[in-house]
Structure 1
Amino acid sequence: MSTEDVFSFAKEMTDSVICLRAGGHHLQAAMLTYVAIEQMAWLSVNPLRSGPADFQNWVNTYMQPYAPLPCTAREIWEARNGLLHMGTAESSANRDSAEIRRVCYVYGNTPKLANKSVGVVFVRVEDLVTSYLTGVMWFLSHLDGNPSELQVAEGKIARMLTQRPL
């Protein structure tokens, strides 16, 4: 067993994100990054289904300790919900809870923004992508030392709709 299939999948997702960013589609790149995080979280758990707790656990375990974002895993989950489901910077949790800040996106050489807005946090799309990539590397390192978890991930990769060499 090796992590080659998981790495190959992560590389395909990353190449797609880079293609979107290169074309100036920064929000779409953020959307695909959230999808990639969700799929990595799914690979990290034994049941065939995963949910918000698994996503947040993957972010807390593999992204935040090594390439932290200025928001919590819960805020990243809610940002994902807002962007993927409604194309907005907010989700219902932002409206229902003062504890969950709204994530607003910036990209490129945007100068560091002085955030004077309560309930808002700014995330550079590039930082989201970098944090995801860092998380992938730590996840692969974890799988290298945990054959039973690698077997679960490999089984799920085999189920995914991806291009396979002929």
Structure 2
Amino acid sequence: MSTEEVFSFAKQMTDSITCLRDGGHHLQAVMLTYVAIEQMAWLSVEPLRSGPADFQKWVDSYMQPYDPLPCTAREIWEARNGLLHMGTAESSANRDSDEIRLVCYVYGSTPKLSNKSEGVVFVRVEDLVTSYLTGVLWFLTYLHENPNALRVAQGKIARMLTQRPLQL
């Protein structure tokens, strides 16, 4: 069995994220990165449905150990919620809990930011994308070593709406 289908899907998502970022659409690149993380998390679990815990587990398993971001998997999940659902950096968890910091985005060659607020964390768009890509590589390594997990991922890839070459 091969991880080729999963790699091909991840490459399509990465190419799209890069296209948005290179076109100056940084927030849209972040949005698509969150979608890509969510889809990778879905590929990593047995049931047809996945949720917040699966997203956070994928971040903790494949992104944070190898290319850590300055925020927790839960904060990344909440940042995703705020951006995808409301177009804001803030989610309801930021308002309801002192434990979940607000994730603010910066991009480009920004100088080292001095963060004087305990309730805010800064994430470079490029770092989020790089951490996702690193996560994909480690996830592919895991799939290569675990045939049952690879079968689950391949079965789900087959269900996805993707662009495939026409078979004549």
TM class by shorter-chain length? over 0.9
- 1:1-166 residue pairs with structure 2 within 5 A? 1-166=1-166
Structure 2 Cα separation of the partners of residues 118 and 10 of structure 1:
34
- Report the Cα offset of residue 58 of structure 1: 0.1
Alpha-carbon offset, residue 24 of structure 1: 0.1
User: How well do the aligned residues superpose, as a CA RMSD in angstroms?
Assistant: 0.4
Tell me the alpha carbon deviations over residues 95-124 of structure 1, each in whole angstroms, 9 at most, x when there is no partner: 000000000000001111000012000000
The secondary structure found in structure 2 opposite 1:104 is strand
**Alpha-carbon separation, structure 1, partners of 2:118 and 2:137:** 34
Quote the sequence identity (%).
Answer: 85
SS in 2 for 1:50: coil
Separation in 1 of the partners of 2:94 and 2:71?
Answer: 13
State the TM-score, normalized to the length of structure 1.
0.99
**How far apart in 1 are the matches of 2:131 and 2:86?**
23
Q: TM-score, normalised by structure 2?
A: 0.98
Q: Which runs of 4+ in 1 moved over 4 A?
A: none
Cα deviation, residue 23, structure 1: 0.6
String of CA shifts for 1:40-64, please: whole Å, max 9, x gaps.
0000000000000000000000000
Question: 3-state DSSP class of the match of 1:105?
Answer: strand
Which 5+ residue runs of structure 1 have no aligned equivalent? none
3-state SS of paired residue (1:163): coil
Distance (whole Å) between structure 2 residues aligned to residue 118 and residue 72 of structure 1: 14
Structure 2 CA distance for aligned equivalents of residues 140 and 99 of structure 1: 32
CA distance in 1, matches of 2:50, 2:27: 24
CA drift of 1:74 comes to 0.2
Question: 2:2 is paired with a residue of what secondary structure?
Answer: coil
Determine the C-alpha separation between the residues in 2 that align with 1:135 and 1:83: 21
Once residues 117 and 16 of structure 1 are traced to their aligned partners in structure 2, the CA distance between those partners, rounded to angstroms, is 33
- Provide Cα deviations, 1:21-48, integer angstroms capped at 9, x if missing partner: 1110000000000000000000000000
The Cα shift of 1:76 comes to 0.2
